[in-house]
Amino acid sequence: MSKKALGLDKFGVRKVMRKGDYFADSLGQFALNSIAGLVGQLTYFYTDKVGMAAGAVATVFFITKIIDAFTDIIMGNIVDHTAPGKEKYRPWILRMAIPAALVIIALFTVPSYDGMAEVLTPAVRQAIYAFSIYIPLTLFVIMFILTAMFDLEAKLPELREQTRMRKEAKN
């Protein structure tokens, strides 16, 4: 059973998504916005619950974003060199679902520093905690998921056209 051609919208612009595509995209966007909302609460959590200085929190976020600028390019290259087709992006989204959940749980879990109390100052312990959680969240989990989702959305019209051409070639 072949699907109906998408055609043009009321402004004469070619449609690129079906209703099911919009629904699937909205679920992905909801998940990403939920993660972004949790990350937005980190400043409050780190300063009021963990006890970090606001400047230390800002420094952690700043350094992480600098590193993120470079790792985004690397991840884009990894996704671009994955085997072509619709399955080029989906595995990255699926592979990172469980690590994303684990890191989000760890984000709001303050570890106990019983054995390190004499060795490290509280500020150093807090900085290590913040870096050890925030860097994996932004650099690995969110980066892998976001890069794959954005690349998939950008390639959706091209993938749909390739599928249509393959079906026509079979007939």
If DSSP states are collapsed to H, E and C, what string results for 102-134? HHHHHHCCCCCCCCCCCCCCHHHHHHHHHHHHH
pLDDT for 139 beyond 80: no
Residues 6+ apart with CB under 8 A from 72: 143, 147
Q: What are phi and psi of 2, to 5 degrees?
A: -95, 145
Domain boundaries, the chain: 21-170
pLDDT for 38 beyond 70: yes
Report the pLDDT averaged over residues 36-50: 83
Residues 6+ apart with CB under 8 A from 7: 14, 15
Tokens, residue 11:
């402004």
pTM here is: 0.64
Report the pLDDT averaged over residues 40-68: 85
Helix (H, G, I), strand (E, B) or coil at 32: helix
